[in-house]
Amino acid sequence: MAEVTRKLGLSTTAIHGGAPRPTPGTGVASPLVQAVNYVQETGTSEGLRYTRYGNTPNAELVQRRLAQLEGSEAALVLSSGMGATSCAMLALLRTGDHLVSSSWIYGGTRKLFSEDIPGMGIEVTFVNPLEPRGWRKALRKTTRVIFLETPVNPTCRVLELNSLQSLAHSEGIALVVDSTFASPVNFRPIEHGVDVVIHSATKYLNGHHDILAGVVCGNEPFIDEVRQKMMVWGQAPDPFACWLLERGLKTIDVRVKRQNENAMEIAEWCSKRPEIAKVHYPGLPSHPDHEIAKTLLDGFGGMLAIELKGAGPAAIRFIHALKLFTYAASLGGVDSLVIEPRYSSHEFMTPDERAKIGIPDGFLRLSIGIENAEDLIADIEQALQQ
């Protein structure tokens, strides 16, 4: 069959991107090659394949597809989202360098930036991303990286990128965005001048709560450097995880669009309930970043958060009463989940520190799945009544 030359849509790319055209006798699904080592040519190191090098057939296929989905030159899949962030930082920063990070980031990343990275002689400044001129004030001659997460876990704030990318580029600083909450269906940061995109592929990219993986997207030379770090720090993914990730990606467009619709319906319903003090969802006109979200995102996402009147004790009663939502960490899969960040991603922060970044006790994060919205709403309703 002739090669397709037109630019493919996101869903088509998610299914076919980077894959060779199947020929008679080959499987329609990609074969899983669960080997750790590969037969090598004699007399040369060309073509050396080893799972820790990230060049197994299953890793290479899903890497090509992810680069196409994010619109980057290259992508590298690693064994977890934290592995992706750690190796990207190891590739970008050296002793004596300075990192400026949004203070509104996933708890594990916060720990990496406040303990491990400073332990390597790299200085880190955390910035409130909404403070006027906050980013600029934090910059030093040694600043090499600006890091942020948008939409923000778990508050669903959406950060403006235009002025930040001009600032970063005028100073020769790499702008790195953790885009886990959005997925490439809703947001592709590279289209907005971002240099490096990171995902916990454990979440929307895979979408089924059954693998741990991460991805770094960027230009070829940078991805090569991240690969070198991945090889020596031992952060490569298993071929089976790559195979499941590739299979999960095939449905990302339909999954995420359904999650967007469900979350919108649930957020609107929750915003009318007297038991709920606050709903955090960028699709609601009342959300402080609704206008930014409308311009940056193609969909408002499947993540939302609620604060119940009655705070912590009410949250615990509510969670106990839920029948469909599962109380579990992680997010972005087809099953709906609920979690309290104070007992999961942000458990190592004090209540005061959490309150400062908008996470009071009793704050509940909902990861909306692809179930029927009316069933999810009925579940929330019966739990609120108890």
The residues assigned a catalytic role are 52, 106, 178, 203
* 80 counts as binding ligand PLP under rule CB under 6 A: yes
CA 303 – CA 156 distance, rounded (Å) = 7
* 246 counts as binding ligand PLP under rule CB under 6 A: no
Parallel, antiparallel, or unpaired: how do β-strands 196-200 and 276-280 relate? unpaired
* 178 counts as binding ligand PLP under rule CB under 6 A: yes
CA 165 – CA 194 distance, rounded (Å) = 7
For the stretch 8-16, contacts whose Cβ atoms lie closer than 8 Å and that sit 24 or more positions apart, written own/partner, are 10/69, 10/184, 10/185, 10/253, 11/252, 11/253, 11/254, 13/65, 13/68, 13/69, 14/65, 14/69, 14/249, 14/250, 14/251, 14/252, 14/253, 15/250
For residue 49, list its beta bridge partners. none
* 184 counts as binding ligand PLP under rule CB under 6 A: no
* 30 counts as binding ligand PLP under rule CB under 6 A: no
Of 311-350, binders to ligand PLP (CB under 6 A) are 330, 345
* 103 counts as binding ligand PLP under rule CB under 6 A: no
> Taking contact as CB under 6 A, which single stretch among the options 32-40, 104-112, 225-233, 262-270 is the one that binds ligand PLP?
104-112
Pick 147 or 318: Cβ nearer ligand PLP: 147
20: preceding bond cis by omega (within 30 degrees): no
Query: With b meaning 16 or more CB within 10 Å and e meaning fewer, what string describes 164-177?
Result: bbebbeeeebbbbb
* 155 counts as binding ligand PLP under rule CB under 6 A: no
Interface pattern 343-372 for ligand PLP (x via CB under 6 A):
--x---------------------------
> Taking contact as CB under 6 A, which single stretch among the options 30-38, 101-109, 115-123, 267-275 is the one that binds ligand PLP?
101-109
Cβ atoms within 10 Å, residue 46 = 7
Q: 37: which DSSP letter?
A: B
* 153 counts as binding ligand PLP under rule CB under 6 A: yes
* 214 counts as binding ligand PLP under rule CB under 6 A: yes
Minimum distance of ligand PLP from residue 365's CB (angstroms)? 10
Q: Contacting ligand PLP (CB under 6 A), which of 61, 69, 75, 82?
A: 82
Parallel, antiparallel, or unpaired: how do β-strands 196-200 and 143-149 relate? unpaired
* Cα angle, residue 226 at apex, residues 43 and 78 outer, rounded to 5°: 95
One-letter amino acid at 47 equals G
* 149 counts as binding ligand PLP under rule CB under 6 A: yes
Interface pattern 106-145 for ligand PLP (x via CB under 6 A):
x-xx------------------------------------
Minimum distance of ligand PLP from residue 105's CB (angstroms)? 7
Pick 51 or 79: Cβ nearer ligand PLP: 79
CB-based burial of residue 263 (10 Å sphere; 0-12 exposed, 13-18 middle, 19+ buried)?
buried
* 235 counts as binding ligand PLP under rule CB under 6 A: no
> Taking contact as CB under 6 A, which single stretch among the options 3-11, 80-88, 92-100, 265-273 is the one that binds ligand PLP?
80-88
* Cα angle, residue 258 at apex, residues 204 and 8 outer, rounded to 5°: 70
CA dist 117 → 105, 222, 346 (Å): 15, 19, 19
Q: Contacting ligand PLP (CB under 6 A), which of 54, 81, 237, 282?
A: 81
Q: Which residue has the tokens 């996933």?
A: 106
Pick 72 or 80: Cβ nearer ligand PLP: 80
CA 258 – CA 370 distance, rounded (Å) = 6
Of 193-212, binders to ligand PLP (CB under 6 A) are 200, 202, 212
Q: Footprint of ligand PLP on this chain (CB under 6 A)?
A: 80-82, 106, 108-109, 149, 153, 178, 180-181, 200, 202, 212, 214, 330, 345
